[in-house]
Amino acid sequence: EVQLVESGGVVVQPGGSLRLSCAASGFTFDDYAMHWVRQAPGKGLEWVSLISWDGGSTYYADSVKGRFTISRDNSKNSLYLQMNSLRAEDTALYYCAKDIREAAAGTPYFDYWGQGTLVTVSS
Amino acid sequence: QSALTQPPSASGSPGQSVTISCTGTSSDVGGYNYVSWYQQHPGKAPKLMIYEVSKRPSGVPDRFSGSKSGNTASLTVSGLQAEDEADYYCSSYAGSVVVFGGGTKLTVL
């Protein structure tokens, strides 16, 4: 059974930094690209970032480019999101999501999602 | 990276069909056959219902179907059931990024 478990969400002050983690199990982690998707309270979904299966390619939404960094450790079956210069508008539930396609650099389709970790940016 | 446009709400009675639209531009929906739809129940993670415009992942009932014409994609739910009541989001590839619609709340009357 595929499982994705996010952690690291806390309350942080504007301008602060945070690293989110996602522990994956139930599939061959290093065969799949992975994504972060966020959802502000009561709002819709927003794609944040993609990393290819080998970590060689990364992509970001304009809203986080230059502030967030996605990475992965295939030896630990783990995905990360380093978040710097945080703003109030980054407040959201952050989901880790698995790409649908094996051995691809990344597709825009997410077939498994975690339950999310809540990041609140507030003074 | 503008969000795709969806109606905020849709509704139908059990057994009826409902279609939800998703309008983008030639830079996203109209430019690629990379449209997907997600269902989200309150307090739950989203679930992939349709990908590549009209393909259904394993386990998704064939009551759910997708299509696209020009810059507008559509999700049709046939034979509405109570458990179909949820928020639905469309998304599209937009050249190295993914954009979502604002979501549509589907109510089963």
* Shortest alpha-carbon distance between residue B80 and chain A (Å): 23
d(CA A95, CA B56): 22
Task: Look at the block and give the residue holding tokens 């980054």.
Answer: A90
Nearest alpha carbon to residue B97 among B17, B7, B46, B27: B27
Residue B3 is given by DSSP the state P
- pLDDT > 90? residue A48: yes
Average pLDDT in chain B:
96
pLDDT of B43 reads: 95
Compute the average pLDDT of residues B5-32: 96
Q: How far is CA B20 from CA A8, B23, B31, B41, B75, in A?
A: 36, 10, 20, 16, 5
What is the DSSP track for A62-92?
A: TTTTTTEEEEEEGGGTEEEEEE-S--GGG-E
Interchain contact, A109 vs B51, CB within 8 Å: yes
Q: Any chain A CB within 8 A of the CB of B52?
A: yes
Average pLDDT in chain A:
95
Interchain contact, A45 vs B45, CB within 8 Å: no
* Shortest alpha-carbon distance between residue A44 and chain B (Å): 5
User: Which segments of B16-63 are extended strands (E)?
Assistant: 18-23, 35-40, 47-50
Interchain contact, B45 vs A61, CB within 8 Å: no
Compute the average pLDDT of residues B72-87: 97
Residue A30 is given by DSSP the state G
The 10s digit of each residue's pLDDT in A56-115 is 999 999 999 999 999 999 999 999 999 999 999 999 999 999 999 887 778 889 999 999
In terms of pLDDT, which residue wins out, A108 or B102?
A: B102
Q: Any chain B CB within 8 A of the CB of A57?
A: no
Q: Provide the percentage of residues in chain B whose pLDDT is more than 90.
A: 95
Compute the average pLDDT of residues A16-20: 97
pLDDT of B74 reads: 98
d(CA A49, CA B109): 37
Cβ-in-10-Å burial (0-12, 13-18, 19+) of A96 comes to: buried
Find the Cα–Cα–Cα–Cα dihedral A7, A12, A17, A19, rounded to 10°.
0
What the block records as the tokens of A117 is 């970790």
CB of B15 closer than 8 Å to CB of B79: yes
pLDDT class of B18 with cuts at 50, 70, 90: very high
d(CA B48, CA B65): 12
Compute the average pLDDT of residues B17-30: 96
Q: Nearest by CB to A45, which of B52, B89, B92?
A: B89
pLDDT class of B1 with cuts at 50, 70, 90: low
d(CA A98, CA A79): 10
pLDDT of A105 reads: 78
Q: How far is CA B53 from CA A29, A96, A102, in A?
A: 26, 23, 19
d(CA B80, CA B31): 31
pLDDT of B2 reads: 75
Q: How far is CA A58 from CA A2, A24, B32, B39, B96, in A?
A: 23, 19, 20, 26, 9
Task: Look at the block and give the residue holding tokens 């478990």.
Answer: A5
- pLDDT > 90? residue B54: yes
